[in-house]
Amino acid sequence: MSKTIQHIDYSEETEVLARFAKALGHPTRLIILKYLSNQSCCYTGDLVEALPLAQSTISQHLKELKDAGLIEGEINPPKIKYCIHQVNWKKAMRLFSTLFEEDFKSIKCC
């Protein structure tokens, strides 16, 4: 007989971790983050030159990463300069580290 969870109370950290995880859930976004981690900043055009993708596709992935808070963009018309959001990146590392370090021994499999 399985137990039913009647009420789930998501903590703010759980919701933030889920938002980060969703943003990291696409290989192109991981490549963009790796690229940005090796630069102090870059413009959309730099990524268009580095990746074999359309500018609109790259812009959409940048939007997802920015909405999740993993990168930040500074508008310098007509360009947008992107970089890793240092505070949120450290928070993501801490949250994922905590998740993967949790003791799952008490979880029983079917």
CA distance 34 to 61: 13
Six token digits for residue 59: 């812009």
CA distance 6 to 27: 35
Mean pLDDT rounded to a whole number for the chain? 88
pLDDT above 70 covers what percent of the chain? 85
Q: Do the Cβ atoms of 82 and 71 come closer than 8 Å?
A: yes
pLDDT digits (tens, 9 = 90+) for 70-97: 999 998 888 899 999 999 999 999 999 9
